[in-house]
Chains A and B, each alone.
Chain A
Amino acid sequence: MPKFAYKPKEPAKLNITSLMDALTIILIFLIMNYSDVVEESDPPDFVEMPQVVGKIEGEAMEVDLPIGVGAQKIQVGKEQVISFQNFKAEEDRILGQFLKALKVESEKVKQKRELAGSSDTERPIKMAIQADKSVPYFIINGLVSKSAELGINYFDLLGLNIEE
């Protein structure tokens, strides 16, 4: 028999054990960080939200109108940004622009609800305030008071949650 006789090659086998291990870990990680709140949006870049230690209780949060409040910027919805240097000195201009932007964004929320045909069209629109931790309360007070002119009386004060 010749020394280097032709031997039929065995079909190559793919070992997927390690791939399955990696996928299982990824799956666990993703399930841990899953959020059923579709509208949960990241705060704007200029906002460093305060952290609150504790366990979240209650039902899932629904964000209608996110309002980002920084020391020199206010973001209404996801696009409209109002910049300022001194809130107290420019209060009328800022709140005027805020009211305009809020009107536009609240109309968008109403249209979105109507298109979705959801039963919660009667539910009052709620603002979700994502403010920087160092922002003084008078800025938030100005925004909340102004939003009441549009009949928006309900709001959520948001913080970053850290579980104990």
Chain B
Amino acid sequence: MSKTAKKEGFEESLSALEEIVRGLEAGDKGLEESLELFEKGITLAKTLSKQLEDAKKKVEVLTKEGGKLSRKALEGNDD
């Protein structure tokens, strides 16, 4: 599971970005606060795009032995 940590929070980051856009749309914030939000939003958008690009495929097959599940990579799945 730890190998997927990089992907963790994609949904949260996307929600945060949407929230920022809504916040800016409301137009009730001062210049400084707006700029701060904007900067945060740009960082989020970059991270999100990067996550989409960098993603590595991973397919594993589960087998159960003695009540325990083990994984091994799927053979012939190199595309």
A and B are interacting partners: no
